[in-house]
Amino acid sequence: MRVRRRVFAGSVLGLLVMGCAPDHLRNRPSGDAPAGTPQPSGSASPSPTATPDPVVTIIPNVSSGSTDVSVDHRLKITVEQGKLTGVNVAGKGRTNKGAETNVTVDGDLTEGEWQASTRLQPATAYTIEATGIGTDGRTKTNTLTFSTVNLSLKEQIFPSIYPESGTVGVAMPVMIKFDLPVADRASFARHLKVTTTPVQEGAWVWLSDTEVHWRPKDFFQAGTKVKVEADLQSVPAGGGKFGQLSRTVEFAVGKAQQTEVNLATKQLVQKVNGQVVRTVPISAGKPGFITRSGTKVVSEKLPQTRMASETIGISNNDPTNGYDLQVKWAIRITDSGEFLHAAPWNMAKFGKENSSHGCIGMSDADAQALFGIIQVGDPVVVTGSDRPLEPQNGITDWNVSWDKWKSWA
C-alpha cells in the first residue's frame, strides 16, 4: 500500500510541476528537453535510416568511358536478381561528308537480356540507358557513355548497288561494286540477301575483290519483284577494313524480251514474250573488227552519242578506219564499245555485208523502233562469229552455265 501511495503521489507531483512550467515550455512536445539542457552522458543524435539500393544488377558488355570500342562490337546487356524493362542506345556521329548525324542501335529485349540487332558506327559517341526491376520490386536505371574508334576512309568500304530502282529486263543481274577490295568475302556474303517474288533460285558469285553479282538460274520471270539487302554497316572486310552504309534497294522486272542477232545471215529478230515482233536487216563488224558472239545484256540507252575511232586506238583522221560521228538510238551491249545503233551511212550493206567497226548498225527507222521497245537489262543473243565475248566485257553472267556459276558461289 505504501508503494502505491508513492507512485500516485509522484504522478500528481509530476502534473503539478508541468502545470507550473513557464509559458515558453508548456507547448514543447513530450520528451523534448529545453534548449541548452545538457544531454545525458553517452546519448547520440538520431540519424535518418539509410535506404539500400535496389538489388537488381544491370551488366553491359562495354565499359563506361571507353573511347576505342570496335565498330563490330555487338552490344549486349544482361541482368541479375531482376529483369530488364527497357534499353535505349543513341549516339551522335558524323557522315562521311562531315555532317553531324543522330544514330540509334536497335535490339531485342527479353527479361534476362538485351542483344543489339544493329552494329555500331565509327567515330560516334553513344549513351546507354538501361532500366531494370529487381526481385525486391524496385527499379534502377543505369546510364553510361562510350565512343567508337575513328576509321579513315581507307578503312571503310562503301557499296554501290545496281539496279537501284525502276524496271529492268529479264537478264539484269544484281550487281554490287565496292570502292575498295574486300579481303574477307565470306564475311560480306553472309550479309547480302536477295528476295524475289515469285521465288526464283539464284546465287552470289564474286567476279573480283570489288564486285559481286547475284543471278537467278534462268532469266527472271516477267513481272518479278526484287529486293536486295546489303547489311554491311561495320561488317569486318578483312585487313582492318569494315563495310559501311547498309542499303536496301527494290526494283521490278518488265516484259520478257530478247533480241537475237545472227551475224551470218545479218538479221536481227526482236521477241516479246516469246513472239517475234520485228525482223531487221543489219550490218555488223568487218574482218579485223569482228562482232563478238555471246549473250550480252543492254546496259545503257543513249538517244544520241558521239562515237570516235580514237577511243579504240585509231586516229579519227585515219584514211581507212578513222571516224568521228554523232550516232542516234545507241544501245550499249559491251563495255568495249559494241552498240546497236542507227547507221544510215551504211544503208547499202544492211542484210548483205558486215562492214562496221564492231557495232550492229541498222536504218534510222529500225533503230528508233528498237530503241523504243528494248529495256536496260534485256538480253541480246549474238551468234554467227568465232570471236567469243570476253568475261566481264559488259554484263556477261549468262555466258556461264548454271552448274559452273553455282560452283563459283
Is 73 a residue of the active site?
no
Instruction: Give strand pairing partners of 278.
Output: 270
> Rounded distance, CA 67 to CA 64, Å?
9
Q: What's the rounded Cα separation, in Å, for the pair 244 and 221?
A: 32
Closest to 188 measured CA to CA, from 107, 250, 245: 245
Cα 14–Cα 20–Cα 23 angle in degrees, nearest 5: 125
Active-site choice (24, 191, 213, 359):
359
Active site residue 341: yes
Q: What is the DSSP string of 260-272?
A: EEETTTTEEEEEE
Name the CA radius of gyration of the chain, rounded: 40
DSSP H/E element including 365: helix 364-373
Instruction: For residue 382, count other CB atoms closer than 10 A to its CB.
Output: 24
Three-state secondary structure call for residue 348: helix
Please say whether the beta carbons of 327 and 285 come within 8 A: no
| C-alpha to C-alpha distance for 119 and 270, rounded to whole angstroms | 49
Q: Which three cell numbers stand for residue 352?
A: 548483205
* C-alpha cell read off for 360: 550492229
CB count in 10 Å sphere of residue 17: 9
Cα–Cα distances in angstroms (integers) from residue 285 to residues 280, 292, 355, 368, 399, in the given order? 16, 9, 6, 21, 21
Q: Which residue from 315, 148, 168 is spatially nearest to 256, judged by alpha carbons?
A: 168
- 150 φ/ψ angles, rounded to the nearest 5 degrees: -95, 115
Q: In what order do the strands lie in the sheet with 211-216?
A: 159-162, 174-178, 211-216, 202-208
The C-alpha cell of 295 is what? 549473250
Contact 357, 285 (CB under 8 A): yes
Q: What is the DSSP letter of 32?
A: P
- Give Cα 46 distance to the centre of its chain: 64
Which of the following is catalytic: 24, 191, 213, 341? Answer: 341
Whole-angstrom distance, CA of residue 330 vs CA of residue 165: 22
The C-alpha cell that represents 239 in the structure block: 585487313
**Catalytic residue IDs:** 341, 359
